[in-house]
Amino acid sequence: MSGMTQAASTKVLDIAPDVSPILDVLEDYSRFIDELFDQPKPHSAFWEGNVGNTAIRSVGRVVYKWRHSLIENQPPLALIVRLSRKLSDIVSDIGQHPRKILERRRSMEPVSRFRELDSTCVRWLIRQPGLSIVEKAGHRRQILAVQRFESVNTLENRVLVDLLKRCRTLAADYLRHHAGRFPNHVWIQATQRFKRICEQFVDSAELACVQSITSLPQPNYVLLHESRYHEVWLAYEQVIRQQTRRQQLWQSRQSVWAEMCLIAIWSSMSLLARKSGSGNCRSTHRCDLWVRDKLEDGGFIDWSSCPTDWKLDSVSRVSVVPAKVLANRFQTIRSGGDFSFVRMKAGGEEEFEDLVAVGLDLPDSNETEQQATVSVSFSKNGSVVSKDVPLDLLKRPDFFDDRLRGWFLDD
C-alpha cells in the first residue's frame, strides 16, 4: 500500500515546468498533429477525412509532411497567433468599455442623501432611539441605507482577465522562440501587439478590482450570447484545452517522443523503399493511419491502423510497429522496447530473419537545455548498440536515413 501511495504522489507532483526544451519539442509535435488533423486533402487514389475526433490520413501524407517539416520560412501558426489576429480589437474594446453591473451595498449615508432602504436597514433604524428619522440619525446625521454603485467584478470580466494573463504568458513564450528569426513577420508583429494589449488591460485601474478565477467556471448568459464576450469565452476554452494538453504531454513525454521517433523512422523507410525500386512503397503510402485530436493511451496515433510492411530489397521486408501491437500482429514475437523492427524473408511473415527491439531513454529534466539528446538502444544478432538522437527530430527529418541503411542493408 505504501508503494502505491508513493507512486501516486510522484504522479501528482509530475507537473510540467514553465520552460523545458523537451516540452518545446513535444508541443511542436502536437502542432504537427494538429496540422494533419485540420487539413484533409482530396486525392484521386485514396480518401482522407475526419470522423468525429479521429482523422483518417494516408501514411504517404504523414511521412511527406514529416520530411518537409524542416522548411521554416515563417514562424508556426500557433494558437496565440490566431488569437492575436482575432481578439486584439475585441479585447481593446472590452478593456475600454467593460461590462458593468449595478451592485447594492449597505453603508452609512447622510440623511439628506439616502435614496433606498431594505429590510435590514429598516430593522436597524427601528432599533435607534428617537421618534423621527432625523433624531434616529443621531449627531452624525447618518443612517444605514442602500447604496447602488457600478462594478466590473462580474464572471465575464473574471474570465477576460484570466484569459489576458494566460495569453500574455503564451505570447511571451512564442516570441521567445520565434521573434529572433522572424522579427518582421506579420504574425510576430501581431503577437507583440496583442501581448502589449494584454499587459495594458491586465494592469489597468478599470479591471484592478476583478477577482481571480480558481477553477473553470460554467459560462453565464453574457459569455454565451453577448458577441464580444462570447469570442472571449471561445478563446478561453481553447487556451485551457491547450494548457491541459501541455500538462498531458509532459506526463506522457516518454511515449509521445517514442511515437515521434517512430514517424521519423517511417519517413526514412519510405525513402529507402523508393530508392530500392521495389514497387512496394506506393501501396504502403496508401494505407490509412488514424490520427486522434487529443492524447489517448500516451499518444495521438491509434495503432489499430498499423501500416503494412516496407520492402527494402528483393528478399526482405521490414515492419516497424509499436511494442504494444507487436504481439497481436506477430504471434511468436515478444519485445520489451517502445517499438520494434521486424525484418522478414520473402517466404512470409512466419520466417523472421532478425528482430531489432528499440528502447528509449528520455531525460526527465531540462538541465541540458538545447543540447539535450535521447539515446536509442537496439539489439541485433545478440549485440546491443546505442545511438544518440537529436531531441528535436522535427528539425532533423533525415536523421535516420543513413542509419537505417546501415542497420538493414549493409550487413
Q: Is the pLDDT of residue 345 over 60?
A: no
**Grid cell digits, residue 67:** 520530411
For residue 71, pLDDT over 70 is answered with no
pLDDT surpasses 60 at 311:
yes
The SS3 of residue 314 is: coil
Q: What is the DSSP string of 228-239?
A: HHHHHHHHHHHH
* Angstrom distance (rounded) from CA 121 to CA 119: 5
Band the pLDDT of 10: cuts 50, 70, 90: very low
Tens of pLDDT, residue by residue over 373-388, are 666 666 666 666 677 7
Residue-wise over 38-63: b if at least 16 C-beta within 10 A, else e? Answer: eeeeeeeebebeeeeeebbbbbbbbb
pLDDT of 198 over the 90 cut: yes
235-247 pLDDT, tens digit each:
999 999 888 888 8
Residue 227 scores a pLDDT above 70: yes
Per-residue pLDDT band for 34 (boundaries 50, 70, 90) equals: confident
Q: What is the mean pLDDT of residues 47-60?
A: 80
Question: Among all chains, which residue has been given the C-alpha cell 435590514?
Answer: 120
Whether 135 shows a pLDDT value over 70: the answer reads no
- Confidence at residue 185, expressed as pLDDT on a 0 to 100 scale: 92
Residue 392 confidence (pLDDT) above 60: yes
- Count of Cβ atoms closer than 10 Å to residue 130 Cβ: 11
Let me know if 391 is exposed, middle or buried by CB neighbors in 10 A (0-12, 13-18, 19+).
buried
Q: Check residues 295 and 111 and name the one with the higher pLDDT.
A: 295
Residue 216 has pLDDT above 80, yes or no: yes
- Grid look-up 522548411 returns 71
Q: pLDDT tier at 224 (50, 70, 90 boundaries)?
A: very high
Are 307 and 345 in contact by the 8 Å Cβ rule? The answer is no
At residue 268, the pLDDT reads 85
User: Treating both helix axes as pointing N-terminal to C-terminal, what angle do 155-178 and 79-96 enclose, rounded to 10 degrees?
Assistant: 140
Q: Which of 47-56, 254-263, 364-373 shows the lowest mean pLDDT across its residues? A: 364-373
Sorting pLDDT into bands at 50, 70 and 90, what band is 88? very high
* Pick from 46, 75, 61: nearest CA to 263: 61
Q: Among the ranges 10-24, 196-210, 305-319, which has the highest mean pLDDT value?
A: 196-210
What is the band of 368 on the pLDDT scale with cuts at 50, 70, 90?
Answer: very low
Q: What is the pLDDT of residue 359?
A: 63
Tell me the pLDDT tens digit for each residue of 119-133: 877 888 888 888 777
Confidence tier at 6 by pLDDT (50, 70, 90): very low
pLDDT at residue 159, rounded to an integer: 93
> Mean pLDDT, to the nearest integer, of 56-61?
84
Per-residue pLDDT, averaged over 58-67, amounts to 86
pLDDT at 84: 94
